[in-house]
Structure 1
């Protein structure tokens, strides 16, 4: 008894296109044809196709299926198991991240680890934190999360509604508010010079440069002026108070550079 390509596909639970693809890869031999050119598949073809389907279903790459037999097949299965285990872990992390975003009602682009505060961050703040996750090490990111969580909603809103025409008094007052609690997280004053992230191969100086350039791109000139004033206030705190009171346990640092490149107001 013989079957057409369509009949073979139905028997094996696959598609005609899949069978043609197996032929192209050399995984399934071409069967004899009738006088009018139609393929005629037999039991051996069906068994070969079912075997292919089984191995592909286990996760073996098609490119390896044709060369797997005996011990090599076992090795291929072990490799496939490792790949699947990594994929399962990736899916687990993705689901956990989605659950955290949905639970907190945070925007989908909220940086990982900041889901709990994502809903109250502005787009600029989320973007800055995204950059920080690439240049700061885990310990610094933990401190960053604490500072972001502790920031006053009033102060944050005042910063992000600040206009280019804001008065000197308004800017100075806002800067003092940012610095008075020691949680001015849009600064590297709290960041130790010896620290660097895994994605900053050039060290702390490179990290600081990236951070400063990001501030210049994301925040207006007036906002950067307030952030600069807040840095000055934080340094003053470090010189006149204990590290605990000035930075709430955050180690003081000895350098900081704010890029003040021009930006349309």
Structure 2
């Protein structure tokens, strides 16, 4: 018994267009033709179409279906590669489900990165926007440190003083606030200081990340706040240099073991 193109397509659960395409790319052998020119498909064609359907249904690309041939090792390698991709997809979907479950809880906010919902209520809109940018540009370890610092809330009063700082704050107010903030900025040797490490793999990308953060801070905070942050960083760097110089002058003594 033989079948026409339409009949073989229906039997295999595909379409006439698909069958013809498989012929074009060499995935399905051309059948013999009747004297009138019509194609007549046999059982081997139906079997091949069902094999292709099964493999593509498992995620095997058509190019790899064509290249698999009869080599068992080659087929196994293809299947392992697809399984690894599926495992990564499943993990990604599980993470998405976990995040959706978190966002479904009362008080959760989509305006902060995953893991930051617990501190979102203490943040203002500009703080949330900056943290979203941080999460895109800086390492997971850096963001864990940021989150832990926000959870600890080492100085809530200082946070509020900075957030409420008016744009026309005078010189003395800015300097005093900067001196209070300095111990908490990157590079300061305190329990709550945070060093931000870019995700970037090249120095150019790292510089672009830091530049983007600088532009974001300029856009999200008023001029007095930006000035305070600048001063705080300068104070922190100066204190760090002073500590390094002191350490060089006063090296840790090595105990004499008697030899």
TM over 0.5: yes
Deviation at 1:220, TM superposition (A): 3.2
Deviation at 1:183, TM superposition (A): 5.9
Give the greater-gyration-radius structure (CA). Answer: 2
Work out whether residues 134 and 197 of structure 1, in 8 Å CA contact, stay in contact via their aligned partners in 2.
no
Deviations 1:93-132, CA, capped at 9 Å, x for gaps:
222222223335311x532332433466455333422343
Judged with a 3 Å threshold, the aligned counterparts in structure 2 of structure 1 residues 42 and 157 are, in CA distance, closer, same or farther, namely: farther
The separation in 2 between residues aligned to 1:202 and 1:55, in whole angstroms, is 44
What corresponds to 1:57 in structure 2? 57
1:236-251 correspondence runs (5 A): none
Query: Runs of 5+ in structure 1 lacking a partner?
Result: 240-252, 256-265
1:88-237 correspondence runs (5 A): 88-103=90-105, 105-107=108-110, 110-118=112-120, 121-151=123-153, 152=156, 155=159, 159=163, 164=167, 166-168=168-170, 172=173, 176=177, 179=180, 190-192=193-195, 196-199=197-200, 201-202=202-203, 206=207, 209-228=211-230, 231=232
Other structure's SS at 1:67 match? helix
Which is richer in helix? 2
1:87 to 89, 94, 98: 89
Judged with a 3 Å threshold, the aligned counterparts in structure 2 of structure 1 residues 154 and 2 are, in CA distance, closer, same or farther, namely: farther
| TM-score (structure 2 length as normaliser) | 0.65
Across the aligned residues of Structure 1 and Structure 2, the Cα RMSD in angstroms comes to 4.3
Work out whether residues 3 and 41 of structure 1, in 8 Å CA contact, stay in contact via their aligned partners in 2.
yes
Work out whether residues 131 and 211 of structure 1, in 8 Å CA contact, stay in contact via their aligned partners in 2.
yes
What corresponds to 1:40 in structure 2? 40
Deviations 1:154-198, CA, capped at 9 Å, x for gaps:
956982x7664x5549x939x8499579767xx665345xx7344
The separation in 2 between residues aligned to 1:223 and 1:35, in whole angstroms, is 87
The separation in 2 between residues aligned to 1:33 and 1:126, in whole angstroms, is 69
What corresponds to 1:23 in structure 2? 23
The separation in 1 between residues aligned to 2:2 and 2:9, in whole angstroms, is 13
Work out whether residues 162 and 225 of structure 2, in 8 Å CA contact, stay in contact via their aligned partners in 1.
no
Other structure's SS at 1:66 match? helix
